[in-house]
Amino acid sequence: MTTTSEQPGREADVVIIGGGSAGAALTARVSEDPQRTVLLIEAGPDYPADRVPEGLLAPQLLADPDHDWGYTARATDRAPSIPAPRGRTMGGSSAVNAGVAIRARAADFAAWGEHYGIKGWSYEEVLPTFRDMESTPTGDDAYHGRTGPFPVRQWTYEQLTSPLQAFVDSSAELGFRRNDDFNADQQGGTGGYPVNIVDGVRQNTALVYLTPQVRRRPNLTVLSGITIDRVLIEDGVAQGVVSASGTVYRAGEVVLSAGSYGSPAILLRSGVGPAEDLRALGIDVVADLPVGQRLQDHPFFHSLFALAPEHQTMTSAFQAHLWLASRDAHAGELDLSVVATHLPDGSFSPTGGAILLATAVTRPESRGSVRLASRDPHDAPVIDNNFFATARDRSRILEGVKLVRRLASTPPFAGAVATELVPGDAVRSDEELAAAIATGISTYGHPTSTVPMGGPGDEWAVVDESAAVKGLTGLRVVDASIIPEVPSTVTNATTIMIAEHIARRVYGS
């Protein structure tokens, strides 16, 4: 049953806050048990399957302003305020992202156990969950599922535009291996992306998990357009949630799936967080935990090129990339990524066509924070990405952007581009290039680790391996915020897997 307006407080066994990548998937799984009543509350709008706006379907429309929280963040001292896009609609950021569907690597999951003492989340343990959630017609059966709700399609070399084919060919010319499946046993190299885009439609979690059949379950209620202020906690036990208008929704268990900015903000307003920060805002301390203290995201620098007149074929979908280890990479790391994509509009280009090569540090060391600006649930949180806080991060982004320039001068890609538009030919020395990067940096849009998961000995852990908030009863967090450190690739598929894995471990779904 779906409802689109706030109603008086109601009872449920489980209330899930946020219908995004994790929340929609978790709702579908947890409500499979007809004896368990489930209430899903989403802050943004919800749409019938046949009335979804074009902006939530077409993958070239990213960070749709009509469905975005409008947050900003500090990136560096030279970039004190950059957009921090997050989806504000059913489907969350999966409804407004680029649709890339690459999983976290085995090495990423190994670090969870090695550095944070987390059990039950090794690659061998999560691979079956990835396979069961996925539906893809290609690739090795050992790595790919065929019947899950989450559709994945692999871009082939033949499907790429001629400039993107030239990008892949030049990457191979520089010695990088060609890779036709980044979700198999080898992730490094260059090739087309796997995407959750089918027939030109971005398959967000509201579409593929919250299907009309799921929504008709009598034990499921879906509410939209409701901002949650805080969790109602009495004597260390979560009893429900309170909306910004004061309505109480009581439940036997509360699950926050509001994302890496929203979930820590709700916890902080609930009195769960650093005691000193809470007291400064006049919030009673319920649990002194390091909420919002370990934010990580991928810094993303856009190099822009005008296309040569004979290479004007463009498509706006994210289509190809190069994934590699920097000179400063630790053993087994793939810590740099170069994304190759066209822009929806090349009108600013002197040739009428353009291609973007964006460099990301995918294993950053730098950590930022998410704090409250005030107790008002309508006030945006204070987000500090703190990019390039270490010399190693600065060195690696510089190496990546210089590699982009090498690619632009290597045939055949050199013949596909006419000129460099950003940062431009006037920026030549390493010092000038580093300054341009620090000024022009943006986020890849993969915030994690603000409510990190950890084992018993991890002093930074806010939740345990079952996503339960430490020291409290009846409160879990299930979304990208619990990832202990940002994976070395895009986060959407891994976030969905987290919801699926928790559903299996905790709810027997």
Q: What's the confidence (pLDDT) of residue 475?
A: 98
Tell me how far apart the alpha carbons of residues 159 and 215 are, in angstroms, rounded to a whole number: 36
Note the pLDDT of residue 3. Answer: 53
Q: What is the pLDDT of residue 310?
A: 86
Distance of CA 509 to the CA centre of its chain: 24
- Residues 248 and 268: their CA atoms lie apart, in Å, by 18
Q: Bridge partners of 307? A: 417
| Cα(152)–Cα(21) distance, integer angstroms | 15
Q: Are 219 and 37 in contact (CB under 8 A)?
A: yes
Give CA–CA dist 38/96, Å, rounded.
26
Query: 3-state SS string over 192-228?
Result: ECEECEECCEECCHHHHCCCHHHHCCCCEEEECCCCE
d(CA 188, CA 186): 6
**Eight-class DSSP state of 51:** G
- Which CA distances in Å does 368 have to 97, 163, 337? 22, 36, 21
CA distances for 124 relative to 26, 142, 331, 460, 482, angstroms: 21, 11, 20, 25, 19
Q: How many CB atoms lie within 10 A of CB 151?
A: 18
253 bridge partner residues: 14
CB of 25 within 8 A of CB of 499?
Answer: yes
Annotated catalytic residue, options 311, 321, 446, 501: 446
- Residue by residue, pLDDT tens for the chain (509 residues) are 555 455 555 689 999 999 999 999 999 999 999 999 999 999 999 998 889 998 888 877 777 889 999 999 999 999 999 999 999 999 999 999 999 999 999 999 999 999 999 999 999 999 999 999 999 999 999 999 999 999 999 999 999 999 999 999 999 999 999 999 999 999 999 999 999 999 989 999 999 999 999 999 999 999 999 999 999 999 999 999 999 999 999 999 999 999 999 999 999 999 999 999 999 999 999 999 999 999 999 999 999 999 999 888 777 666 899 999 999 999 999 999 999 998 767 778 899 889 999 999 999 999 999 999 999 999 999 999 999 999 999 999 999 999 999 999 999 999 999 999 999 999 999 999 999 999 999 999 999 999 999 999 999 999 999 999 999 999 999 999 999 999 999 999 999 999 999 999 999 97
Q: What is the pLDDT of residue 317?
A: 64
Domains of the chain: 11-56+83-91+204-295+447-507 (3.50.50.60), 157-192+299-363+388-440 (3.30.410.40)
- 367 CA to centre of own chain: 16
Nearest to 401 by CA among 446, 435, 447, 445: 435
Instruction: Give the orientation angle of helix 492-507 with respect to helix 21-30, to 10 degrees.
Output: 30
Copy the structure tokens of residue 483.
Answer: 């990832």
**What pLDDT, on a 0 to 100 scale, did the predictor assign at position 10?**
61
Give Cα separations from 278 to 27, 265, 297, 369, 472 (angstroms): 31, 11, 24, 15, 17
Active-site residue 446, yes or no?
A: yes
Is residue 54 classed exposed, middle or buried when 0-12, 13-18 and 19+ CB atoms within 10 A define those classes? exposed
Residue of 96, 50, 52 whose CA lies nearest to 70: 96
